[in-house]
Chains A and B, each alone.
Chain A
């Protein structure tokens, strides 16, 4: 039995929209194990983002438990949640949410501001992370001078800054073109394989979801279906250009010879 990093027990979340009471999540039970790459799918309004926000300590559930390791985060005060957000969780957003007045490196350094790292350590780490996501040489560029794909890479580097156990990605490919979608998902998959980072990705793009190892379908705040994806353990991926199988870590597609 794998070690659970995240466990939901009878999780519920409702909020009022005007006079209407909306049940965003109802009695969810879910366990995510260490090193899993999970995709949460579902139509708009199915509660995907709400679930992710609750998992990321950004929102409080109205019922049930969220166990992060052994700790029930629903009982924690804001100050502790803040600490968890900074050390255990990395966020990747659909709209990247980079600070426009900071350059790529400074954006990556931002989460380290609340740690005790020295300035040079932060700089060093930021450069390493940017190199890892393939952006070395672009450290000094501001977000507006980067392409959407590059911005999302910066955002992923930022999410990794404090070496979190879990990355929560909310539609990370929603604002990207096909080529960049694959690149970003590949990047996440690489992280998952190479670093063992648990990744939970919300998406409504079934092609992207199929690149993960476990798919969870959500509808009306309930889990309706669960499915195994193309198991990343098999290290198989699909070339975005010709559709043939590639090995994880391939820089060039073996059949069409295009750069992945």
Chain B
């Protein structure tokens, strides 16, 4: 009977525990989505006059790849939106995916080939850049063949550090969290991402080794895009010599005089270099708008789910409280009934009403305490399973797998049983146990010994 009581209370407690935990995850998700929308909006404002040009992405080992050209598995520059990312036709899913095969890498091109872009009318600036991923090679078996893929450690991004470009155009990351940003004329220095600091074990002012060459850490930038950026920035010439890519670049960013002429400039670039993939600010803007709308819808859903979860949680808690009290009440009533003779005996041999009553109360409280502890033990195991069973929308429906990677939470709405929650649950169990024992104990004390003795 004690076990039955414990188990039923355990279930009662674990349900609200699971729901409350879920609610917390939803809150986190909502917050992350909110941040992502803000970032997307910031990016939209920056990109109106920007045109990105690059070669079509190539699959490693099939396309043209110069020496030491790694696959770029991470999003290039500060904005977090690589030309390749939009060019590969996967659109949003590409941005959400985290897999190494989800995005094509950018192919290298000879920088001198694109000098003529600068002479196109209304072009304000041409910014060539080189992006190379560095990491560890890993062999994977797929379709019976083995492929080598790069597990990236960091991405080297070379930016031409001339004052005419750096001072006038948003080509460097804007979110500097320590030290200073790169500036015109810098060489032999590196701007690390926050996410690189652990890998290099370095802070501002330290000297780090990149591919055998020493660089001083001049500053650290925070992740400015929606991705987990591991890009470090150096001077373009440094990047080219470092990666043995002298004379090569991976993309050209073109800035037009104004947003009105962007379409014409893009057309001109395309006709001049049909091999290039040209993405205008407007196109990117559209993509971003779609993305933003998607985020907003998701945010609404998340908030709706949160509201639903809360109301479910409240309902569940009320049901749990009522059910638990009733269970304790009935169990205690049953106990008292079952032990009427014992009560009579105790009274006959001189126990006072108060002694008998307090003994039964104590028993109820102790039972509830044990049940509460057992409940927490079961809840910590059963809560995830239970809440998944009860709230499939939270874990599967509204938030697809993609979303969590956007939200940077890493896992789908995780369930945690905090110590505070456990304490509250045990406290509630004891309180309910006490409440449930009051009436039976009172009835015990009212029973006349002779009646109790007659009871078989």
Q: Which residues of A contact B (CB under 8 A)?
A: 50, 53, 56, 58-59, 78-79, 82-83, 85-87, 90-91, 93, 95, 97, 99, 110-111, 113-114, 158-159, 161-162
The answer for the CA separation of A117 and B448 in the assembled complex, in Å, is 27
Contact with A along B332-370 (1 / 0, CB 8 A): 000000000110111111111101000000000000000
The answer for the CA separation of A59 and B342 in the assembled complex, in Å, is 17
- Contact pick for B350, options A50, A59, A83, A93, CB 8 Å: A83
- Contact pick for B352, options A82, A90, A97, A161, CB 8 Å: A82
Contact B350 A82 (CB under 8 A): yes
- Contact pick for B347, options A85, A95, A99, A162, CB 8 Å: A85
The answer for the CA separation of A99 and B345 in the assembled complex, in Å, is 9
Contact B348 A58 (CB under 8 A): yes
Q: Given the complex, which residues of A lie within 8 Å of B375, measured CB to CB?
A: none
The answer for the CA separation of A53 and B448 in the assembled complex, in Å, is 11
State how many angstroms separate the Cβ of B362 from the closest Cβ of chain A: 14
The answer for the CA separation of A93 and B455 in the assembled complex, in Å, is 13
Contact A114 B350 (CB under 8 A): yes
Contact B351 A114 (CB under 8 A): yes
The answer for the CA separation of A111 and B347 in the assembled complex, in Å, is 10
Q: Given the complex, which residues of B lie within 8 Å of A93, measured CB to CB?
A: 345, 453
B318 close to A (CB within 8 Å): no
B281 close to A (CB within 8 Å): no
Task: Give the one of A87, A113, A161 with max B CB within 10 A.
Answer: A113
The answer for the CA separation of A39 and B352 in the assembled complex, in Å, is 29
Q: A91 and B349 in contact (CB under 8 A), knowing A97-B341, A99-B342, A114-B355?
A: yes
Q: Given the complex, which residues of A lie within 8 Å of B345, measured CB to CB?
A: 93, 97, 99
Contact A59 B448 (CB under 8 A): yes
Contact B349 A85 (CB under 8 A): yes
The chain B residue sitting closest to A101, CB to CB, is B342
Contact A113 B348 (CB under 8 A): no
Between A and B, 9 residue pairs with Cβ closer than 8 Å are A58-B348, A82-B347, A82-B351, A82-B353, A85-B348, A91-B349, A95-B341, A110-B349, A113-B351
State how many angstroms separate the Cβ of B227 from the closest Cβ of chain A: 66
Q: Given the complex, which residues of A lie within 8 Å of B450, measured CB to CB?
A: 50, 53, 58-59
Beyond A53-B453, A82-B353, list 13 extra A-B contacts (CB 8 Å): A50-B450, A58-B448, A59-B448, A79-B352, A83-B350, A85-B347, A85-B350, A86-B351, A90-B349, A91-B348, A97-B344, A114-B355, A161-B349
The answer for the CA separation of A162 and B348 in the assembled complex, in Å, is 13
Contact B349 A111 (CB under 8 A): yes
B78 close to A (CB within 8 Å): no
The answer for the CA separation of A111 and B351 in the assembled complex, in Å, is 8
B57 close to A (CB within 8 Å): no
The answer for the CA separation of A114 and B348 in the assembled complex, in Å, is 12
State how many angstroms separate the Cβ of B55 from the closest Cβ of chain A: 85
Contact residues of B between 288 and 317, Cβ < 8 Å to A: none
Chain A contact residues: over half helix, strand or loop, or mixed?
helix
The answer for the CA separation of A90 and B448 in the assembled complex, in Å, is 18
Q: Given the complex, which residues of A lie within 8 Å of B453, measured CB to CB?
A: 53, 58, 93, 97
State how many angstroms separate the Cβ of B230 from the closest Cβ of chain A: 67
The answer for the CA separation of A59 and B453 in the assembled complex, in Å, is 11
Q: Given the complex, which residues of A lie within 8 Å of B353, measured CB to CB?
A: 78, 82
- Contact pick for A158, options B349, B351, B355, B449, CB 8 Å: B349
Contact with A along B122-159 (1 / 0, CB 8 A): 00000000000000000000000000000000000000
The answer for the CA separation of A78 and B345 in the assembled complex, in Å, is 16
Q: Given the complex, which residues of B lie within 8 Å of A162, measured CB to CB?
A: 350
Contact A114 B342 (CB under 8 A): no
The answer for the CA separation of A99 and B344 in the assembled complex, in Å, is 11
State how many angstroms separate the Cβ of A102 from the closest Cβ of chain B: 11
The answer for the CA separation of A202 and B346 in the assembled complex, in Å, is 21
The chain A residue sitting closest to B339, CB to CB, is A99
The chain B residue sitting closest to A110, CB to CB, is B349
The answer for the CA separation of A87 and B352 in the assembled complex, in Å, is 13
The answer for the CA separation of A87 and B351 in the assembled complex, in Å, is 11
Contact B350 A86 (CB under 8 A): yes
Q: Given the complex, which residues of A lie within 8 Å of B347, measured CB to CB?
A: 58, 82, 85
Q: Given the complex, which residues of B lie within 8 Å of A50, measured CB to CB?
A: 450
The chain B residue sitting closest to A57, CB to CB, is B449
Q: Given the complex, which residues of A lie within 8 Å of B355, measured CB to CB?
A: 114
The answer for the CA separation of A93 and B345 in the assembled complex, in Å, is 9
The answer for the CA separation of A255 and B344 in the assembled complex, in Å, is 44
Q: Given the complex, which residues of A lie within 8 Å of B448, measured CB to CB?
A: 58-59
The answer for the CA separation of A111 and B348 in the assembled complex, in Å, is 9
Q: Given the complex, which residues of A lie within 8 Å of B449, measured CB to CB?
A: 53, 58-59
State how many angstroms separate the Cβ of A162 from the closest Cβ of chain B: 7
Task: Give the one of B342, B348, B351, B453 with max A CB within 10 A.
Answer: B348
Q: Given the complex, which residues of B lie within 8 Å of A82, measured CB to CB?
A: 347, 350-353
The chain A residue sitting closest to B353, CB to CB, is A78
Q: Given the complex, which residues of A lie within 8 Å of B342, measured CB to CB?
A: 97, 99
State how many angstroms separate the Cβ of A167 from the closest Cβ of chain B: 12
State how many angstroms separate the Cβ of A105 from the closest Cβ of chain B: 15
The answer for the CA separation of A93 and B449 in the assembled complex, in Å, is 13
State how many angstroms separate the Cβ of B125 from the closest Cβ of chain A: 90
Contact residues of B between 411 and 456, Cβ < 8 Å to A: 448-450, 453
Q: Given the complex, which residues of B lie within 8 Å of A79, measured CB to CB?
A: 352
The chain A residue sitting closest to B445, CB to CB, is A78
State how many angstroms separate the Cβ of A126 from the closest Cβ of chain B: 13
The answer for the CA separation of A158 and B345 in the assembled complex, in Å, is 11
State how many angstroms separate the Cβ of B348 from the closest Cβ of chain A: 5
Q: Given the complex, which residues of B lie within 8 Å of A99, measured CB to CB?
A: 342, 345
The chain A residue sitting closest to B350, CB to CB, is A86
Contact A87 B349 (CB under 8 A): no
The answer for the CA separation of A114 and B349 in the assembled complex, in Å, is 9
- Contact pick for A111, options B341, B344, B350, CB 8 Å: B350
State how many angstroms separate the Cβ of B138 from the closest Cβ of chain A: 65
Contact B348 A56 (CB under 8 A): yes
The chain A residue sitting closest to B349, CB to CB, is A111
Q: Given the complex, which residues of A lie within 8 Å of B349, measured CB to CB?
A: 85-86, 90-91, 110-111, 158-159, 161
State how many angstroms separate the Cβ of B455 from the closest Cβ of chain A: 11
The answer for the CA separation of A35 and B348 in the assembled complex, in Å, is 22
